[in-house]
Amino acid sequence: IADEEGLSPRETADKYNERTRDDFRKLGITYDLFTRTTTTNHYRVVQDLFKTLYEKGFVFEKTTLGAFSARTGHTLPDRYIEGTCPHCGFPNARGDQCDNCGKLLDPVDLIEPRSKIDGTTPVFRETEQLFLDLPAFAQELTAWLDRQEHWRPNVRRFSLGLVRELRPRAITRDLDWGVPIPVPGYAEQENKRIYVWFDAVVGYFSAAVEWARACGRPEAWREWWQNPDARHFYFMGKDNIVFHSVIWPSMLMGYGDGGELGAGQGALQLPTNVVASEFLTVEGKQFSTSRQVGIYVSDFLARYDPDPLRYFLTAAGPETQDTDFTWAEFVRRNNDELVATWGNLVNRTLTNTYRNFGSVPEPGELRPGDRELLGTLAAGFEEVAAELEAVRLKAALQRAMRLAARVNQYASEEAPWATLETDRTRAGTVLYVCLRCIDSLKTIFTPFLPFTSQRLHELLGYDGTIAGELELREVEEDGASHLVLTGDYASWEGHWAPSALPAGQALREPRPLFRKLDPATVVAEELARMQAAAAS
C-alpha cells in the first residue's frame, strides 16, 4: 500500500490510523484505550514476549523461501499474495490462509501466486527467518480448545481442525520497518523485523500496559492479565480466527509467567471467548477494495445516521452464518423495525405527554397490568444481559425489540390519548408507565443504539451522559506523541437497572429518534454509486 501511494510505511500507518480512529468515533464505539502499535511501550512489550519465547526454546532459525515483489524488490506480506489453494483449488486463496477450506498456507504453497498489488508473480528466494514452534503447543492447545464449549461451534470446530495440522510459523521478515528482533544475530540487522502478525496480537496486551501507566497505576494491568477470574473476549471476522485461537494462545502459553513483564507473578490469561463472525457480502458480492466493491464507513455516515447501521449489523449481521447487506434490506429494517416499533413508541409517548402535561405525570393507582408491564421491563435487564454475556448479540437485540413491541401493544390497548378528556388521571398514569418503560428501554438499547439512547435520555429531562463520552487525547511518550481514543465511563456504573424516572421531571420538546427513508430513492442512488465506483 505504501509503495502504491508513494508514502513511507509510517506515513501509511498514520493515514489509516487516523481514518480508523475517526470511523470508530463516529460509530460510537467506545474504548478505555484505542492506541497504536508504533509506540515505545508496544515495542518493549513485543520484544519481551519474543525474547522470552526464544530463550525458552519455542523460537528457532530456519532457511525458507521468502516472497518478494518482482517490481519493487520489497518483501510481500502474506496477505498481499493470492493464488490457487493446493488443497481445495480455490482461485483466490491468500498467502497465509485459504478462506474457502480454512487451511493454513505459506505463499510458496500457492499455485500460480500473484501479487494483489500489481498482479506480478512474486520472486521466491532463500532467506533465514525465525519460526514459532507451534507444534510444541498442539497438545495443550487441543486440551484447552476442547474445554471451550461456550464458543460459537464454527469457531471451535475450525480451531481444532487447525491444531491437527500445525506446523512452525515464520515470525520474522526481510523488512526495514517494524519491531526490531531482540535476539543475537538479528538485533543488529537493519533489514530484519518481527512479522506483523506476531507484533499485532501483542497489541491487546501492550495497550493494557499503556492504559495502566496513563491511569497512574502502572501495575494495574495485572488485575486483568494475571487474574484467573478475568475474562478476555476477542471480536473479529472469521479470516482472523487462526491468529486468536491458535497463534496468540500459543504465544501466551509459551510466555507463561516469565519475562520482564510477567515477573513470575502469574501466567497471562488465555482468551475466554474468540468471537468470530462469518462473512458479510454487499449486494451479493464479496467486499474488495481493489475492485471497489464495498461501502466505506465515512461515506455511509455522510448520508445516514450511525444507529441504523449499528442496528442492521447486529440484527442481520453474520453472527453465525454469512449474510448479505443490501440497501433494500437496510431501508426495510430502518423503516419497519426502528421507525415503526421503537421510534413510534417513543414519539407518541413523548408527544402526547409533552403536549398535555409538560412533565412526567403524577400517576394514579397502578393496575395489575401496569405493574406487570413494569415488571417485564425490569426482568428484561437480566435477560438481555445474559445474552450479551454469552455474546449472543443478535438474540440480545431481539429481546430488546420484543420488549419495545410489548410496550407499544400496551400503549395501543390503553390509548391514553383517547381518554385525556374523560379520565385524565388514568391517561396520565398510562403515560407515566410508558415513560418509565421507554426510560428502561433507553438503557437496554444503549449498547446497540448509543446515539439515539443519549438523545432520548435528554428528551426525558436528564442532564449529562448515559455512559460517558469518547474523547481524543494526545499522549506524550519519550519525546514523541500519539493520539488515542479514551473516555471516562463512570456514569455507566450502576446504570444497567430499571427506570427510576420521577414524577414531575420536566420533559424537553420531542423530536423523532429516526428518519424514515424512501426505499426507491435510497436503493437507486446507492446502487448507482456502487456501479460508478466499480467502473472507476
Q: Which of 490, 511, 501, 380 is nearest to 445 (CA)?
A: 380
Cell reading at 409: 401493544
Cα–Cα distance measured from residue 456 to residue 454, given in angstroms and rounded to the nearest whole number: 5
Cα–Cα distance measured from residue 502 to residue 432, given in angstroms and rounded to the nearest whole number: 9
Mean pLDDT of 267-281: 96
Q: Which of 369, 347, 341, 132 is nearest to 247 (CA)?
A: 132
CB 278 within 8 A of CB 320: yes
- Per this entry, what is the length of the chain? 536
- pLDDT above 80 (res 425): yes
Q: Which of 36, 29, 23 is nearest to 207 (CA)?
A: 36
Mean pLDDT of 233-246: 94
Cα–Cα distance measured from residue 304 to residue 299, given in angstroms and rounded to the nearest whole number: 9
- pLDDT above 90 (res 517): yes
Helix 344-356 and helix 424-445, axial crossing angle in degrees, nearest 10: 140
- pLDDT above 80 (res 276): yes
pTM of the predicted structure, to 2 decimals? 0.92
For residue 233, give every residue at least 6 positions away whose Cβ sits within 8 Å of its Cβ, in sequence order, or none: 271, 272, 273, 275, 391
- pLDDT above 90 (res 9): no
Q: What is the pLDDT of residue 211?
A: 96
First vs last Cα of the chain: how many Å apart? 19
For residue 531, give every residue at least 6 positions away whose Cβ sits within 8 Å of its Cβ, in sequence order, or none: none
- pLDDT above 90 (res 501): yes
Cell reading at 90: 480455490
List the single range of 156-160, 172-176, 389-393 with lowest mean pLDDT.
172-176
CB 256 within 8 A of CB 267: yes
**Helix, strand, or coil (residue 485):** strand
Domains for the chain: give ranges and CATH numbers: 37-76+122-277 (3.40.50.620), 286-519 (1.10.730.10)
- pLDDT above 80 (res 255): yes
Instruction: Compute CA distances 95 → 163, 175, 241, whole Å.
Output: 19, 17, 16
CB 436 within 8 A of CB 503: no
Cα–Cα distance measured from residue 24 to residue 358, given in angstroms and rounded to the nearest whole number: 37
List the single range of 289-293, 334-338, 423-427 with lowest mean pLDDT.
289-293
469 pLDDT tier (thresholds 50, 70, 90):
confident
Instruction: Compute CA distances 21 → 25, 173, 178, 208, whole Å.
Output: 6, 28, 21, 18
Provide the pairing of β-strand 480-487 with 470-477: antiparallel
Cell reading at 460: 426525558
325 pLDDT tier (thresholds 50, 70, 90):
very high
Q: What is the mean pLDDT of the chain?
A: 95
Share of the chain above pLDDT 90, in %: 84
CB 143 within 8 A of CB 132: no
